[in-house]
C-alpha cells in the first residue's frame, strides 16, 4: 500500500513546474492521468532531444509514474470526456498560461459544480496583481522572486542559480498544498482551489534575504564579506558571493587540483563552536588566544584573512581528504560535487535517489528518484509514458467506454 493509493490525479501539467508536482504524487502512489493534446503532447517531449525519435530526457525525467491520455479538450466530445474525468478524479493539477482553463470552458466554478470534492491546483507565474496574466518560465521567476538580485558577486551582474527553484521549487510547494487539501477534505468533505505562484515560491525560498533586507535598515550586515572589506552597503540586500546565508561565516575555497579541475573546491564553514579545532587543523594555533581572532565578533572584520589562511591549508588537500579530516572534528565542510560525481555516487544509487530506468525508445537512462523517503510508502520509479500510451486503457477502465466508442472518438479527432 502506498500513501496516496486510490487518489486519482487529472494531470493537465506541462513543461517542468507542474510535472514535478504530479511526479511526486505518482511516487506517493496516486494514479496520475496525464492529459495531452493528440499528436502533440507536452512540448518538452521534443525539447533538447538527444536521441532521435525518442522522448527527451527533459520529458522522461519529469514524468515517471504517470499514464498518458491524449484528449482534445477543445473538441466537443473531448469536453464530454473531460467532464467525466472531472467527476471521477480527486485532484486537477494544471500550469497552463493564465486563463487557458477558462477559455477551455472549465473555470473553477464549473469544475466545482461538476465535482464539489475536486481539488483544483494551479501553478502560475504571479499571483493576483499587475503581472497575473503573464506567462512565466524558470528564470523569470528567479528574477522576479528575489533570487537573482541576491545571487552572484557584488561587483558582477545578477545571476540565476542552477537549481530550478522557480519550476521544481514551485512544484514542491503545490504538491504540499495538494496533500494538505486532501487531508482537509477528509474532514470537510469539500474540495478547494490551490494557487502556487512561482514568484511567491521563489521569495519563500529567499526568506533569509528578506530577513537581511530588514536587518540592513538597522546597520551593516556584518557577516557579509563586504563589511570586512569596508565597502558601504546600499539600500537593498546585496549579492553576497559565496558568503554563508546563516550566522556562521563560510566560503568556497580552492582544494588540491583546482588549477585543472573546475570542481576541486570545498565549502568551509567557520562555525564558532569549533574554532579551536579549525586553528589546529590549519596550523594557526596562535589564533586561539589572539584577541583579533579568538571570538566570532573579532573575526568578522578579518574574514578575508581568516579564509585566506584556511585556503592555504585546503589547497594542500583534495576535497574528499578535507571531508575525512574535518568531519570527525565536527567542522562542517561541503565538497563541490560535479554532476558526474553525483551520477556515479554509489550511496545515492543505493537509496534510490539516483536511478537507472529502461525506456523502449531510448534504452537505459539515469534519473533522480524520489528525494523524500517514507518508511511505509516505498517508491518504484516507473518510466514515463509514451504519448497516448494509456488512452484506450483509461477511457475503458476509468470511464467505461467500449472499443467502438473509443474508435469513433479517435476518428473524430477527440482523442
Helix (H/G/I), strand (E/B), else coil: 363 = strand
Give the count of residues interacting with ligand COA (CB under 6 A): 25
The reply on whether position 72 binds ligand COA by CB under 6 A is: yes
The reply on whether position 41 binds ligand COA by CB under 6 A is: no
The reply on whether position 144 binds ligand COA by CB under 6 A is: no
Long-range (24+ apart) CB contacts under 8 A made by 223-227 are: 223/247, 223/249, 223/300, 225/303, 225/304, 226/154, 227/300, 227/301
Residue 167 annotated among the catalytic residues of the structure: yes
The reply on whether position 71 binds ligand COA by CB under 6 A is: yes
Single out the residue of 25, 32, 35, 368 in contact with ligand COA (rule: CB under 6 A). Answer: 35
Distances (CA, A) of 330 to 193, 216, 246: 46, 31, 17
Stretch that binds ligand COA, among 67-75, 288-296, 361-369, 382-390 (CB under 6 A): 67-75
The reply on whether position 123 binds ligand COA by CB under 6 A is: yes
Closest separation in Å from C-beta 301 to ligand COA = 43
64: left (phi over 0), alpha (psi -120 to 50) or beta: beta
Stretch that binds ligand COA, among 121-129, 321-329, 358-366, 388-396 (CB under 6 A): 121-129
The reply on whether position 143 binds ligand COA by CB under 6 A is: no
Stretch that binds ligand COA, among 14-22, 201-209, 386-394, 403-411 (CB under 6 A): 14-22
The reply on whether position 61 binds ligand COA by CB under 6 A is: no
Which grid cell sits at 174? 503545490
**Shorter beta-carbon distance to ligand COA: residue 101 or 279:** 101
The reply on whether position 80 binds ligand COA by CB under 6 A is: no
Long-range (24+ apart) CB contacts under 8 A made by 314-321 are: 314/253, 314/254, 314/255, 314/266, 314/268, 315/253, 315/254, 315/255, 315/256, 315/258, 316/256, 317/255, 317/256, 318/255, 318/256, 318/257, 318/264, 319/255, 319/263, 319/264, 319/265, 319/266, 321/256
Site residues (CB under 6 A) for ligand COA?
15-18, 35-37, 43, 71-74, 95-97, 100, 103-104, 123-125, 135-137, 167
Please identify every residue annotated as catalytic: 167
Amino acid at each position: 500500500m502506498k500513501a496516496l493509493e486510490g487518489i486519482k490525479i487529472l494531470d493537465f501539467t506541462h513543461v517542468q513546474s507542474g510535472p514535478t508536482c504530479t511526479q511526486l504524487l505518482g511516487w506517493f502512489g496516486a494514479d496520475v492521468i496525464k492529459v495531452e493534446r493528440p499528436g502533440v503532447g507536452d512540448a518538452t517531449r521534443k525539447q533538447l532531444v538527444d536521441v532521435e525519435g525518442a522522448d527527451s530526457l527533459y520529458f522522461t525525467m519529469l514524468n515517471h509514474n504517470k499514464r498518458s491520455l491524449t484528449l482534445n479538450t477543445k473538441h466537443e466530445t473531448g469536453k464530454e470526456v473531460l467532464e467525466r474525468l472531472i467527476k471521477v478524479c480527486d485532484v486537477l493539477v494544471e500550469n497552463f498560461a493564465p486563463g487557458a482553463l477558462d477559455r477551455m470552458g472549465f473555470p473553477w466554478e464549473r469544475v466545482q459544480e461538476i465535482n464539489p470534492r475536486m481539488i483544483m491546483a494551479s501553478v502560475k507565474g504571479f499571483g493576483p496583481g499587475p503581472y497575473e496574466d503573464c506567462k512565466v518560465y524558470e528564470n523569470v521567476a528567479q528574477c522576479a522572486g528575489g533570487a537573482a538580485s541576491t545571487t552572484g558577486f557584488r561587483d558582477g551582474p545578477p545571476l540565476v542559480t542552477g537549481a530550478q527553484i522557480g519550476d521544481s521549487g514551485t512544484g514542491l510547494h503545490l504538491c504540499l498544498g495538494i496533500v494538505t487539501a486532501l487531508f482537509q477534505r477528509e474532514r470537510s468533505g469539500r474540495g478547494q482551489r490551490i494557487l502556487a505562484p512561482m514568484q511567491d515560491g521563489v521569495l519563500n525560498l529567499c526568506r533569509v534575504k528578506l530577513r537581511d533586507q530588514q536587518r540592513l535598515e538597522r546597520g551593516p550586515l556584518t557577516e557579509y564579506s563586504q563589511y570586512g572589506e569596508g565597502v558601504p552597503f546600499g539600500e537593498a540586500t546585496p549579492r553576497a558571493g559565496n558568503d554563508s546565508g546563516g550566522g556562521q561565516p563560510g566560503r568556497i575555497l580552492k582544494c588540491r587540483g583546482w588549477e585543472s579541475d573546475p570542481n576541486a573546491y570545498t565549502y568551509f564553514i567557520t562555525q564558532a563552536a569549533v574554532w579551536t579545532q579549525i586553528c589546529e587543523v590549519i596550523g594557526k594555533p596562535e589564533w586561539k588566544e589572539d584577541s583579533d581572532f579568538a571570538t566570532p565578533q573579532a573575526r568578522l572584520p578579518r574574514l578575508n584573512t581568516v579564509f585566506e589562511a584556511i585556503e592555504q591549508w585546503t589547497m594542500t588537500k583534495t576535497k574528499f581528504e578535507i571531508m575525512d579530516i574535518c568531519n570527525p572534528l565536527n567542522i562542517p565542510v561541503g565538497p563541490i560535487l560535479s554532476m558526474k560525481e553525483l551520477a556515479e555516487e554509489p550511496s545515492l544509487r543505493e537509496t534510490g535517489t539516483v536511478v537507472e530506468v529502461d525506456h523502449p525508445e531510448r534504452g537505459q537512462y539515469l534519473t533522480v528518484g524520489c528525494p523524500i523517503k517514507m518508511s511505509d510508502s516505498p517508491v518504484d520509479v516507473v518510466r514515463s509514458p509514451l504519448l497516448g500510451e494509456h488512452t484506450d486503457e483509461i477511457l475503458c477502465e476509468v470511464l467505461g467506454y467500449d472499443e467502438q466508442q473509443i474508435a469513433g472518438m479517435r476518428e473524430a479527432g477527440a482523442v
